[in-house]
Every structure is written in C-alpha cells, then in structure tokens.
Structure 1
Amino acid sequence: MDTIQKNNFVKVIEALKNAVEQIKEQKKDTAINTILGVANNIGFLNNASVKLKLSAEVEQQKITDTIKEIILSEASIHESYLNTQKCINDLNGAISNNNIKKNEILKQIESLKKELNEDERLLREHRKKLDELNDSSAFSIIRSILSLGLDRAIMGVQCLINNDAGRINELNDSIKKYNEILKNNSDEFNKSDDLLKGLSEQKKLYEVSIAKLKEKESVLHTSEQVSRNNLAFITNAALFYGRLSVMLDQIEHRIDDVVDIVEELNDKTPTIIDFDSSGTSLISLKEAMVKFDKILETSEVA
C-alpha cells in the first residue's frame, strides 16, 4: 500500500495540535497552512471512511437478508413439522382405535370359541345319548320294550344333534368372519404402523433442520451485532473526517474549529463502540481514530 495510507491520523492530529498552538499565538495564516499541509491525508481518510462505511452497510445488509431468509425457512419447515405432527397425532388416534377394535374382535372370537366348545360338548353328549338309544343289544332291546316313547326320544335327541350341528356351523362361520376382519384390521394396522414410522423419521429430519437453522441464525445474529458495532465505529470515523473535510473546504472561515476538534480528541471519555467487539467495550474518539488508521493499513480501501 502507498505510504499515504500509513500513520495518516498521527500526521493529522499532530498538524491539528500545532494549528491550535499557532491560533493561540495569533498566527491564523500559519495555522491554515499547517492544516492545508495535511489536506491529502484528510482527503484520503475522508474518502476511505466513506468507502468503508458503504462496504460495512452492504455487509450488514447481507447478514440481515440472510437472517430473514433463514427465519422464512424456519417458518416453512416449522409449518411442515406441525403438519407432520398433526398427521402423526391423527394416525396414532387411528391406530389406537384399531387396537380397540382389534381387542374387541379378539374378545368376540374368544367368546365364540367358548360357545363353540360348549356346543361341541353338547353335540358329543347328544350323539352318545342317541347311540345309547340305538343300541341293539339284548339288554337294550328289553330296556327299549319297557321304555315308553322310545321313538319319540330318539327323534328328540336327533333334533338336538341337528340343532347342535347347525349352531356349530354358525359359530364357525362367525369365527371365520371375525378372523377375516381381524386380518384386514391387522393389515391396516401394519400399513398405519409403516406410515407412522415414515412420518416419525420425517419429523426427526425437520427437527434436525430447524436445530441447524437456529444454530446458524444464532451465529448470524452474533455476526450481525458485531457488524452493527463495526458500522457504528466506521460511521463515527466518517463523521469525524467528514467534519475535517468540511473545515478544510472552508478553512479561511473555519480555522477556529480546530480548537474544538482537538479538545474533543483530548477528551478520554469512552463514547465509541470498539471495532470487532460485542458492543460492551467503549473507547475514546482519539483511540477510535488511531484504531481506524490501523484498520486502513490492512483493508483494501485505496
């Protein structure tokens, strides 16, 4: 970089102090010439501060725009996340209802099986009774002769057997029907379970995406704050050198402004946010201008 970019503030403040002493000695023309002697330095610093301010504003806007984009992305993903969560809740409700339905069917099947077992037991008893009535042994023949209404008894038992068989067929049909319903219910349950797993995975992906965006947003908010602080710092430099530039343009009439400017530079009260800080560190005007000079040495501003 050119030498004009180095130690400019040191040269300017030295000239300003000398000019103040010359004004005190009633040597205003000499003071004017002293200030004019660093006109190039003041001009460079003024132009550089304006360029850096514009650059800082652009950078600040980029960060702000990026944060806005991230917030919009977060909102979009969060909306999808909520929709997915609603689907999961609805599906869990459906699965819960299916489970209730499944349990009811299982209970019904169990009840039918108990009835079937009982009817099968009765059928066995009735068949045994019929076999006894149809027994052709001599003892049975004598018993049959002595028994009244044997044919009627046989017909009655046969009727019971037929009723038992019909009842058993009905129960088997009912059990078959409920097993079919149970199978369909199980198939639906499996499909719902697979869908639930897919939605849960999608939900996790949304959670990861939101977490990453929030982390990035947090970093950018920190960068944005630093960027704002830097912009404020550079703006103070631009205002200071803008003031010197105006004084330089009207030096014949405003040479006395030098006294106020030097007085402000001598004030050690920290009022300016430091460059590249969190905003908690303040420095004086003179410290800020010395630092600004150092920043220019490492910047690309010519």
Structure 2
Amino acid sequence: MKTTLSADGTKLAYDVRGDGPVLIYITGAICFRTFRPVVADAKAFAAEFTVYTYDRRGRGDSADAPVYDVAREVEDIEAIIDAAGGKAHIYGHSSGAVLALEAALRLPHKIDRVVIYDASYVHDAQERDSYAALSRQVGSLLDRGENGRAIKRFLQDIGMPRLFVHLLPLVPGWTTMKSLAPTLRYDIALTEELPPLDRLTAIEVPVRVVVGGRSPAGLLDVARRVAEAIPGPDALVLHGQDHMVSAKALIPVLRESLLGNREPDHKRIGER
C-alpha cells in the first residue's frame, strides 16, 4: 500500500501493478482497492498497463472529510494522477464512470484518454423519482446503523441480480463493505440526476463509452445519450456482459481505445 494526500489533506491509499502506460481505475459503489473482484481486474489490466487502484475517500484505508462534494473526489483523482507522474489514462466503472467524466471535464491537461463502463446516471424522470425514494430508504437504514441492509436494498433496487445480492454476506470483504456503506450517499449524489449532456459536450479528452448488452435498459439509454453528447464514436455494447463486466471482455476495448490498437469486434448501439 502507498499513500498520498488530496488537495484538502485527505489521505488516499493506493496500489500499483504492472508495467506500461498509466491507467487509473475508478471503482463504483461499495468497492475498495483490496476487494477480490477489483484486485482480479487490476491484475488482468496490468498485462497491458501500469494500473493504479485506490480507495475512494471514506473507503478502505483512505480517510474522509466531514462534507462530501464531487469536486473533492475529482481532486482525489488528480492526486493519484500526480502520484503516477502527472498524466494518465482513466477507466471508470458505474459511479466511477461518472467521476471519470467529471475528471475529463476538469482535468483535461492531466488525462490522456478515458474509457467508461455503465455510467450509472438515472435515465429518465420516473427513475429519478424512484431513485430519490431509494436514497431516503438507504439513508434511513444507514442512520439506524443497518449498513448491511442498506447495501442490499441499494443493490437490489439498481438491478443487481438477486442471487448476487443474497450471497454477498458470504463474500470475503463483506465486513469491509459494511463499514464503508455510508459512502453509498456519495454514489447516490453522483448518479441521482440525468446525464448533464450540455456539460459533457465540453469534454475535449477522447472518451470511449461502453455498456453491457445485459445491463439494465436504462444504462444502455444513458450510454447512447452520453456518447452522442461527447465528440467521438458511438457507444460500444459488450454483448453477453452485465453490470459486473469481465476483465477478459474489457481488455480488448482498453487496448484499442487507450493504446490505439485494432478496434474490437463488438456492435454499436443500434446496429444489428
């Protein structure tokens, strides 16, 4: 484990694997850098990149601040980029994809290219209303110290497979996940509104928008609209993949999008 400080003095813990161009991996809700799926992804990506995984603030071995602001999380990304030498590629998953887009907007001089997977904004007004209700339910459970129930309620309502949610307490790392459950409020704050398409049109960094073919329909709609707003190619659908994308399926996309190798054989949204 290595550490660095964000602009507000918050300690950030991170790990480094591999050799090659620098890739900062920004994880989604309830993930942390030593979580087995995150470690497995990082090890796979390390075949092509120097991979930096870090605990987002309030998680794992990183510290936190009393008040949450997305700007602080972007400063955290900048601190990791600086620790990596001052320039990096970015890969963001789920709410981490939303952060990756914010970083692309605010740190264009420090980011080479970006790949996002299943950016988890709400996709319409109806989902925004139901998500607000979910936010209240999760907040109430967290206020009562029922962290495990808060995690399960959140994951079930955003469409994670029931079997996956049911088996979570048996997964190594469940105790850590429960301890960082209060950061669900951060992920909800990042994703509770529709994609800010007007702002996203200002992104100058190359961004590859990717979505799982078996992900919730709302995420495919979000991917299409985000890709239309950002200059670049159409959204790429990884058929057979859901929100928990496999590293094996993703590596060809990272290779092509970040290193300029041959484009992988996957269909765009709307293609038959």
TM-score strictly above 0.5: no
TM-score by length of 1: 0.17
More helix by share: 1
Whose relative contact order is higher, 1 or 2, with alpha carbons under 8 Å and at least 6 apart? 1
Which is greater in Rg?
1
More strand by share: 2
